[in-house]
Structure 1
Amino acid sequence: MAGLEAALREAVDGEIRFDAGSKGAYVTDGSNYRQVPIGVVVPRNVEAGARAVRVCARFGAPVLSRGGGTSLAGQSTNTAVVIDWTKYCHALISVDPDARTCVVEPGIVLDTLNQRLSGHGLQFGPKPSTHSQCALGGMIGNNSCGASAQAYGKTVDNVRRLDVLTYDGLRMRVGPTSGAERARTVAEGGRKAEIYAGLDRIVTEYLADIRRGFPRIPRRVSGYNLDSLLPENGFDVARALVGSEGTLVTVLRAELGLVPVPACQSLLVLGYEDICRAGDDVPRLLRHCSPGQLEALDGRMAQLMREEGVHLDSLGVLPEGDSWLLVQYSGDSREDVDEQAHSLLRALGRSEKDPDVAFSDDPEREQRMLKAREAGLGVTARPPDDRETWEGWEDSAVPPDRLGDYLRDLKKLFEEFGYDHPSLYGHFGQGCVHTRIPFGLRTAEGVAGFRRFVERAADLVTSYGGSLSGEHGDGQSRGELLTRMFGERLVTAFGELKAVFDPDNRMNPGKVVDPNPVDGQLRLGPAWRPAAPRTHFGYPEDEHSFTRAVMRCVGIGNCRSHHGGVMCPSYRATLEEEHSTRGRARLLFEMLGGHTDSTITDGWRSTEVRDALDLCLACKGCKSDCPVGVDMATYKAEFLSHHYAGRLRPAAHYSLGWLPVLARLSRIAPSPANALLHAPGLSRIGKRLAGVTGERAAPVFARQSFLQWWQAQTQERNGAEPDPADPRTVVLWPDTFSTYFHPSVAISAVRVLRDAGFEVTVPTRPVCCGLTWISTGQLTVAEKVLRRTLDVLRPHLEAGTPVIGLEPSCTAVFRADAPELMPADQDVQRLSGQVRTLAEQLVHHAPEGWEPPELARRATVQTHCHQHAIMKFDADRELMRRARLDADVLDEGCCGLAGDFGFERGHHEISMAVAEQGVLPAVREAAPDSLVLADGFSCRTQIDQGGTGRRALHLAEALALGLEGNLPGRQPERLAERPSPPSRTARWATTAGAAALTAAAAAAAVRPALRPSRHP
């Protein structure tokens, strides 16, 4: 092992990783299986990857090529040297628009490829539901399909040639091969001649078996593509290697066929009383039309979506029925696609006006509907009824004209084994059925039942002339079952093909040929015994179990997407599996133990887990964007609380984690405090001591805090406190950021709320949501802070008074973090139900007749990640619409500052890389006379400090300016009353007040290290 690692480091231009953390991140894929890698190689170029294979061959080490790692049958996990192509080897090498072909490297992601091809009006046709994260190398390995295969076929139908490397070092370019070309190759001798002679021998010996034994259905992905070597199919070696799951060769480059991007599309949705009736109708639909997609979803999936609160807008437009077929048409014009849909309806004797029919030619609406279908795996993976569902029989395929009967027999099999009500959906136009089944994979009895079921299911699908796999491949899930489908002779032929390319069985061994048992190497299994640690958070949605929470991750890999949404900013900046939500979940799973070969052996004290979590921005994007709701921000806080229990923490945990206390201390002398924070020499020393990056300018304390302004206002108004029970009364939450740094936000909110007819009250005793302690894992302190806050708010909680939050991260604490940290506290539950955003209050609860001021302006709007994840942005969109703001709400991901993350030493480069991927360029491109809006303090700070030349406003500030008629014509955000860094003279000011503040701040920073349980 040491010699292999040393040789790889010497020979390969890449990142060579044999550490426990890297192994843990790659220990499994999207399947039920788990195998610890020997090591991980991340080559910086394709040639380096080829050298890595050659080095492994010298040592006899198995090799596993890996793309997005989303395989559901266990193809992407093995005790092998894992070569991850996705970080560096993702080039689009060339495009030939006339020939409609391109050449790519194996690590390029499908969505990225199609985005780069869009200028040519071309795309790669097959589109799996994982299109935002799957790599072309993996698609070639798995022979991926997706919904669009109805029109464009499988990956195998779109591969022209492959540049491949055998384990023993032969590199060759393969594709269709004539008899004369094969003869010349064999005559030349050598390893290539040996391979081609072997292929000729296999085809000759098994010719009749191949022609008879491969089911003639649209979706046969199981087995090797020996049929591509038939004379009538051009003896296409490239296509024979597609779908071989990395067990034969390493793919270095691929020439792909492309198709035009459709000009127009429409979607017809037909309702049925059950999924079997929908299956019955598929042959009739196919006789009358040639759709681009023909998808299905059943009532069970719709029920799960409603229970999980996802894709509700799509469900709202479904026609009557308990199952549905989604028929998409493509064409050159709107008239063309409309006529195709109406022609089918006429042939079926149905009408667009029927209650069980819905028709749309609105592209945005169509995409929402199809995304709801694509979400099937995530929706069914973690049902709200707390059952665990698993892969294993998730993509069988039959002839489309026998689909309805197959579904009935499959449901009978479910009933026989007691697998209650799995959802059935999939690519019905090609007879491919998706499902997830509640196998009992934790007990010997459950695992035995799992094995018996898949054997019976294999016999069932074979009796229908179908395929074990219609999309996901064989891997370990179905490799052992191939004899039931193909028979002994063809499976023997598969073994001979393997021996031709990989005689020593070193390429992804244990898959397809000589496979590991279907019930072996399970990620759980009857011998799995994970730790059950006591935790601070309650995990109420996970049976109060941190272990079950970590197991939410099923490996779909949406956190590895490159565009859109929020998740996962650190992965997008690093392209590192370890810094994806999935990679971190894998390491936490390993940390819990349960296996004798667990890669993480020191539990909460693990430095590998700590390092992986260090670059987690705690943005909570995964809580909303992950299909199964992994909440890595909460897991990170939990881990940090245990990791640092009883020992000193990083300096930033004291300086930034205790920011609310330091901010209150700033009231002693705010101007001298600012001077010290920005004095050139002192600030550098202070940042170093505080664990803050030197590249960041410290935020500036306001001369007058919001609470000081409020107290002055209250004295001037000389009025009594509003009655908490008065329906007009609202509590404005004085968060640290809107109080001590940007008081104009809170002051503006008071003006807008009063204009809307509300009576505003503000807590005058110190309160805090505990956010900064939560994000740094100081959960005991956070709970104490929250309890004191609840004491202050109790009269308002008892009266049901709304609490209006202005800082999204603080509002999110009350909505999500606090109820999980204190799940049994009724006041926390009341607060969670009573806290509202400003927009929610104004849109849903303002007196009838009130309208916001007309701003009549364009606006570029950055949504705070926590708002995106927890509160959502619908009310803000509606409020901006009423205020006549033409809002461009960015879909550019996290701003990169993310609370304390961007201020901590060692994070600046990642913070700015995240910001430059979307937010900062979008702000720079905004029109000079438009508004830039960002409700989050972090977002505003990143925009202010990110070289945009713009200063962002909170929506409350924009509305207040509109009320006052002070919205100017150009760069209005510069007029907001915000503190600026002190002048050069002021920076050198030294006063007794500043000295006192410095001493107090130092004492506050040291105190938690000495007495961590002390109340702040």
Structure 2
Amino acid sequence: MRPVVGVPTPTAAGVRAREVAELLRARLDDPTRASTELPRRLAAAHDASPYLFEPQALVRATSAAEVGALMAGAREAGVPLTLRGGGTSLAGQAGGAGVLVDVRTDWRHAEVLDDGRRIRLQPGLTIRQANARLARYRRRLGPDPASEAACTVGGMVANNSSGMTCGTTDNAYRTMESLRFVLPSGTVVDSGARDADDRLRADEPELHAGLLRLRDRVRSTPLSRATIERLFAMKNTMGYGLNSLLDHDSPVEMLAHLMIGSEGTLGFVAEAVFRTVEIHQHAATGLLILPGLSAATDALPALLAAGARTAELLDAAALRVSQRDPDASPALRGLTVTGHAALLVEFAEDSAERLAETLADARHVLDRLPAVTGTELTHDPRERAALWHLRKGLYTAVAGARPPGTTALLEDIAVPMPRLTGTCDGLIRLFDRHGYPDAVIFGHARDGNLHFMLTQSFDTPAEIDRYARFTDDMVDLVLAEGGTLKAEHGTGRAMAPFVRRQYGDELYDVMRELKRLCDPSGLLNPGVLLNDDPTVHLRQLKAVPTVDPELDSCVECGYCEPVCPTADVTTTPRQRIVLQRQIALATAAGDEERRRELTTDYEYAAVDSCAADSLCVTACPVGIDTGAAMKRLRAERHSPFAQRTARSTARHWKAAVAGVRVGLNAAHVVPTPVTRAATGVLRGFGATELVPQWSDDMPRAGAPRPG
């Protein structure tokens, strides 16, 4: 099977896109917010997943009412609708071939409540931005994903985000107090209203009755109840959150909690109120290197019982990658890693006295560990930050060093704690069997949650077949260990074909009925989360051509976007790069019409409008300075003569300004034909980049600046 970039016939697609956009514009306060321009649609379509769809229209919604109206318009046009936030998606849940609705740009309001114990948020704010509002209260959101700098609140809700410290108790599902959301019918539900359930019964009687029916169906089936309880005792974002049917009695509460982790397939969450958690001000951290995986996993129960709030696992391959990091300690750099593994542990309390007591009680556990480089913990903020940089830098190290043209795939699973060692060993055997020698395993060991990262090309049928065989074997391994195929990153398209296998026919049918009740027309994000096509995870795979050595390591994650000054005006660093890739693909395919359409506005939208401040490199996980690349592209447009002249002008700026003033005033004294002829001669001698063509509306020199 060859990779497909999702490009329909340009002419037919353009006609259809214009029809769809015209239908949607009538539903917006500002019709200019619906666009069919190919560069804008493609720029917005990319995310960190291996998939790519070309939307027919891109729309920026500004209110819940507009989202409801857009859903009605999409239904009338017969096209699907996908809600788009930060686009850090790893599993392919943030793109679609219909209408792509931007619910980030105009959705960034936050209201801190009860001295920081609660917070009301719109979906476009990033988790880091939300936490910045809470910092003065020494509180934060419960979920703490590594993507907090770019992951939006909408994405946190849509994927039931968790992270390194929140476990299953402080994730989005457990800390949500209320939601305000829009159903595909246009009905707006506020689960925090006192009469919310009565309103849902009046506005959506079939949905209300159906939720009660499904609740009773699940509760009366012992096997269904047992399966749900087993899977949701772990971190689990596979399929819909059926634990809602056990945890809550009223349909409105069940529905609000089903929205969490639904990946935009049941409705749009316009606002959320979360309970926050306390920030522990005092902490001690250490990297405990142990002889092997079994020693690391055997140590976990005692460490957690002793009060460790975090325990991150790094396998031998991850340790070898970490040794290359400049922040690695001398002990780590000097270690000959064979079958070692490590636990990055952290103890944290709200006072120095309590931390000292916890560490004293834990010392006997630490002293019994067979650690090869000691068990000392550090309180020093810089040393602690360096240790966390090692852990968080694994993605950077592996993704940044991958061969050009390949994709960095970051998957996550969870298994019961006693199965952790066997699962790690099994994954390592699969890496060897399928030819992924550089794959690494790391993760949240305290939760039995493993991440593994590998690099994959989708350029040939053989490569796609290799990925398919590995995925099938990985699914067999995880399910045989009693685990879940998705712990944090959402089901998306990557795991949608395997939801039935994990849950069984009965619960899969319950999920299908939930989708039908909420979205009877199948309007929202079709193909995501539930999909009966066993090969959907092998379709619409994204081609990643090489375009520029400075840019080729981009993983299209969007971390750069929140810090980019032009993100809401023209394009973002990610979009500047992906448009170059799309231009390269059109050129290679000989599609001159498409190439021309993509390049028409690129110089302004991507190159000239870039602030070139290099803020992007401060956020990029693989260290790309898109600002510097855009400055280089600007320079390459000018001749060596023009560049020498510009450098000379910069060195003698005062004289240059005076000369231009004299020239402008003199030109207005000389007859226009003479001036026009003179500038024409200068431009003819190669000064076209320096001397403008004279016209009658050229201004005179302004008044000199004082001083």
Regarding TM over 0.5, the answer is yes
Q: CA deviation digits over 1:796-851, x for unaligned, max 9?
A: xxxxxxxxxxxxxxxxxxxxxxxxxxxxxxxxxxxxxxxxxxxxxxxxxxxxxxxx
Q: CA deviation at 1:448?
A: 1.3
Q: CA deviation at 1:175?
A: 6.6
Residue 783 (structure 1) aligns with: none
Structure 2: distance between partners of 1:683 and 1:96: 68
Structure 2: distance between partners of 1:382 and 1:515: 35
Structure 2: distance between partners of 1:146 and 1:654: 54
Q: CA deviation at 1:24?
A: 1.4
Structure 2: distance between partners of 1:474 and 1:660: 54
Amino acid in structure 2 at the alignment position of 1:32: P
Distance 1:301 1:354, change over 3 A: closer
Q: CA deviation digits over 1:416-435, x for unaligned, max 9?
A: 21221411111111111112
2:425 corresponds, among 408, 421, 433, to 408
Amino acid in structure 2 at the alignment position of 1:313: D
CA contact (8 A) 1:185 1:193 kept: no
CA contact (8 A) 2:307 2:362 kept: no
Structure 1: distance between partners of 2:680 and 2:369: 73
CA contact (8 A) 2:635 2:643 kept: no
Amino acid in structure 2 at the alignment position of 1:579: T
Any stretches of 5+ residues in structure 1 without a counterpart? Answer: 531-544, 563-570, 686-998, 1012-1016
1:335-484 to 2 correspondences below 5 Å: 335-350=353-368, 355-383=373-401, 388=406, 390-391=408-409, 394-484=411-501
Any stretches of 5+ residues in structure 2 without a counterpart? Answer: 1-16, 669-677, 691-707
Residue 166 (structure 1) aligns with: 183
1:124 corresponds, among 138, 141, 148, to 141
The structure with higher relative contact order (CA 8 Å, sep 6+) is 2
2:572 corresponds, among 550, 570, 580, to 580
Q: CA deviation digits over 1:765-807, x for unaligned, max 9?
A: xxxxxxxxxxxxxxxxxxxxxxxxxxxxxxxxxxxxxxxxxxx
Q: CA deviation at 1:377?
A: 2.3
Q: Are residues 1:612 and 2:606 paired? A: yes
Residue 562 (structure 2) aligns with: 561
Residue 512 (structure 1) aligns with: 529
Structure 2: distance between partners of 1:210 and 1:277: 35
Q: CA deviation at 1:145?
A: 1.1
Structure 2: distance between partners of 1:198 and 1:93: 34
Residue 700 (structure 2) aligns with: none
Q: Are residues 1:217 and 2:233 paired? A: yes
CA contact (8 A) 2:103 2:124 kept: yes
Q: CA deviation digits over 1:411-456, x for unaligned, max 9?
A: 1121121221411111111111112223342211111121121122
Total equivalences in the alignment: 650
Structure 2: distance between partners of 1:620 and 1:58: 44
Residue 54 (structure 1) aligns with: 72
Structure 2: distance between partners of 1:107 and 1:683: 54
Distance 1:660 1:1008, change over 3 A: same
1:30-45 to 2 correspondences below 5 Å: 30-45=48-63
Helix, strand or coil at the partner of 1:394 = strand
1:175-186 to 2 correspondences below 5 Å: 184=198
Structure 2: distance between partners of 1:46 and 1:657: 54
CA contact (8 A) 1:95 1:102 kept: yes
Q: Are residues 1:205 and 2:229 paired? A: no
Helix, strand or coil at the partner of 1:491 = helix
Distance 1:680 1:662, change over 3 A: closer
Structure 1: distance between partners of 2:353 and 2:206: 56
1:9-20 to 2 correspondences below 5 Å: 9-13=25-29, 15-20=33-38
Residue 208 (structure 2) aligns with: 196
Q: Are residues 1:521 and 2:540 paired? A: yes
Distance 1:117 1:623, change over 3 A: closer
Residue 489 (structure 1) aligns with: 506
Q: CA deviation digits over 1:323-376, x for unaligned, max 9?
A: 321112221212322432343231243489983323111234323322331233
2:158 corresponds, among 109, 126, 141, to 141
Structure 1: distance between partners of 2:309 and 2:101: 35
Q: Are residues 1:675 and 2:669 paired? A: no
Cα RMSD between the aligned structures?
3.7
Q: CA deviation at 1:466?
A: 0.8
Amino acid in structure 2 at the alignment position of 1:602: R
Distance 1:439 1:91, change over 3 A: same
CA contact (8 A) 1:268 1:341 kept: no
Residue 659 (structure 1) aligns with: 646
CA contact (8 A) 2:74 2:81 kept: yes
Q: CA deviation digits over 1:858-890, x for unaligned, max 9?
A: xxxxxxxxxxxxxxxxxxxxxxxxxxxxxxxxx
TM-score by length of 1: 0.59
Q: CA deviation digits over 1:166-192, x for unaligned, max 9?
A: 112111123799xx986x568x544x2
Q: Are residues 1:227 and 2:243 paired? A: yes
CA contact (8 A) 1:300 1:422 kept: yes
Q: CA deviation at 1:151?
A: 8.0
Helix, strand or coil at the partner of 1:494 = helix
Q: CA deviation digits over 1:113-169, x for unaligned, max 9?
A: 111122333211111111111110111001111112238532111111111111121
Distance 1:342 1:87, change over 3 A: same
Q: Are residues 1:2 and 2:18 paired? A: yes
Distance 1:623 1:213, change over 3 A: same
Distance 1:416 1:260, change over 3 A: same
Structure 2: distance between partners of 1:276 and 1:599: 57
Structure 2: distance between partners of 1:425 and 1:252: 34
Distance 1:316 1:386, change over 3 A: farther
CA contact (8 A) 1:151 1:292 kept: no
Q: Are residues 1:87 and 2:74 paired? A: no
Amino acid in structure 2 at the alignment position of 1:213: T
Structure 2: distance between partners of 1:520 and 1:172: 35
Distance 1:679 1:143, change over 3 A: farther
Structure 1: distance between partners of 2:384 and 2:400: 26
CA contact (8 A) 2:416 2:448 kept: yes
Distance 1:684 1:5, change over 3 A: farther
Distance 1:39 1:349, change over 3 A: same
Distance 1:211 1:612, change over 3 A: same
Helix, strand or coil at the partner of 2:361 = helix
CA contact (8 A) 2:85 2:152 kept: yes
Structure 2: distance between partners of 1:386 and 1:40: 30
Distance 1:343 1:680, change over 3 A: farther
Structure 2: distance between partners of 1:237 and 1:282: 36
Q: CA deviation at 1:628?
A: 2.0
2:260 corresponds, among 214, 222, 242, to 242
CA contact (8 A) 2:50 2:407 kept: no
Q: Are residues 1:278 and 2:296 paired? A: yes
Structure 1: distance between partners of 2:67 and 2:592: 25
Q: Are residues 1:292 and 2:275 paired? A: no
CA contact (8 A) 2:417 2:447 kept: yes
Distance 1:231 1:72, change over 3 A: closer
Q: CA deviation at 1:477?
A: 0.4
TM-score by length of 2: 0.83
Residue 69 (structure 1) aligns with: 87
CA contact (8 A) 1:20 1:600 kept: no
Helix, strand or coil at the partner of 2:376 = strand
The percent of aligned pairs where both chains have the same amino acid is: 24
